Structure 1
Amino acid sequence: MDTVEKISKKVNALIEKNNDAYQGFKKAAENVDSFHLRDFMMDEATQRQEFAARLSRALRTYNPDFDPDTDGSFTGSMHRAWIDIKAALSMDNDESVLEECIRGEKASVDEYEDFLEDYPSLHSDISGAIRDQLSHIKQVLDRVKTLEDLH
C-alpha cells in the first residue's frame, strides 16, 4: 500500500474517532444532571463535528479519490451504549459520564499522537488540523478531569 493510501486511512480513522466523539458527547449530554455539564458536552459535540468536517476537507484535498467515513465506528457505538448502562446503574450520573469522557478523550489523544509520530514531516492541511485538534482535545481532557474531581 502506498504512503498516500496509508495516510488517507489513518486520517479516516481520525474522522471516525471524531464522529464517535460527536455522538459520545451528545449521549453524555443526555445523561448528565448538571445544566453546566450538559452545555459543555453539547459544545464539545459540535466541536467534534467540526473537527471531522475539517479533516474530511483536508483529506479530499490531499487524496481526492479517497471516500472518507461519514459515520462512527462500532467501537464508538459500544462506548455510547456503555455510557447509557453506566449512567443507569450509577448513583452519580455526572461522575460516571465524566469518567467515560476521560476514557474517550485519552483514546483520542493516543490516536492523534500516533498519527503525528508516524508522519512527523507531513506538511499539509492535514497535519495542521491534527495538531490544532490534538491541542484542543488535551485541553478538554484536562478540563473533564477537573470537573470529575469536583463531582
Structure 2
Amino acid sequence: MSSDSGKQHEMQRVLRSVINILQDSQKGFADIGEHLKDETLKRYFLTESLKRASFRGDLEEALHQNGVHDIHETGTTAGTLHRVWGDLKAKLGSGDHGLLETAETGEDEAKKAYADALNQELPLPIRQLLAEQQAHVLASHDYVRNHRDALATK
C-alpha cells in the first residue's frame, strides 16, 4: 500500500467528518429558523441552512473528483445531530435566546470540525475549500453569539 493511498484514505475520513457536521448544522439551522420569532434571525437561519447544504455539495464534489463515489453518510449522523444541536423541543419554550444558545453550541462543533480538518495533511485545493468554508462558519458563529448576547441583555 502506497503512502498516496493512506493520504487518500485520510482525506476521505476528514471530508466525511466535515460533511456529517454540515448535515447536522443544515438541519439544525432549518429547525431553529422555523421557530425563531425574530424575522431577521429567521431569514438568516434559513439562509445558513442552504449555505451548509451548498458547502456539503462542494465537499461531496471534491470527494467525487478524488475518485470517491459512495459518499453516503456513515449512519452516526442522527446521534451526532442530537448531541450537537441538542433537544430542540426542550429549548422551544425558552424563546429566541435559548434557540440561539443551541445554535451556538452546534456552531462550536462545526468550528472544531474545520479546525481538526485543517490540521491534517490535505491537497491544496481541498485545504483552500475548507479554509473558505471555515471563514464563513467562524463569521456565522460570531453572528449567532452576538445576537444571543444581545437578547440576554434585554
TM-score computed with the length of structure 1 as normaliser: 0.87
Looking at structure 1, the residues matched to 16 and 69 of structure 2 have their Cα atoms a distance apart, in angstroms, of 9
Partners of 2:19 and 2:68 in 1: CA distance: 16
The equivalent of 1:143 in structure 2 is: 143
How do 1:10-29 residues align onto structure 2 when only pairs under 5 Å count?
A: 10-29=14-33
- The alignment's TM-score, normalised by the length of structure 2, stands at 0.86
Aligned residues, how many? 145
In the aligned structure 1, how far is the partner of 2:90 from the partner of 2:68? 40
Q: Secondary structure at the match of 1:65?
A: coil
1:66-81 alignment to 2 at 5 Å?
A: 66-69=69-72, 73-78=77-82, 79-80=84-85
User: What is the RMSD of the two structures over their aligned residues, measured on CA atoms?
Assistant: 1.9
Which one of the candidate residues 65, 73, 83 is aligned to 1:61? 65
Q: Which runs of 5+ in 2 are unaligned?
A: none
CA distance in 1, matches of 2:86, 2:100: 15
Matches within 5 A, 1:1-150: 2-62=6-66, 64-69=67-72, 73-78=77-82, 79-80=84-85, 82-88=87-93, 90=94, 93-119=95-121, 122-124=123-125, 126-150=126-150
C-alpha contact (below 8 Å) 2:19/2:59 kept by paired residues: yes
Change (3 A) 1:131 1:18: same
Structure 1, 126-135 or 67-76: larger mean CA deviation: 67-76
Query: Which portions of structure 1, spanning 4 or more consecutive aligned residues, are displaced by more than 3 angstroms?
Result: none
Separation in 2 of the partners of 1:98 and 1:81?
11
Q: CA offsets per residue over residues 23-49 of structure 1, 9 Å max, x none?
A: 000001122111111101001001000
Q: Secondary structure at the match of 2:135?
A: helix
Deviates more, 1:23-32 or 1:2-11: 2-11
SS in 2 for 1:118: coil
Cα pair 2:24 2:80 within 8 Å, conserved? yes
Aligned partners of 2:124, 2:86: CA distance in 1, in Å? 38
When residues 138 and 81 of structure 1 are mapped into structure 2, their CA distance, relative to the original with a 3 A threshold, is closer
Q: Shift of residue 84 of structure 1?
A: 2.2
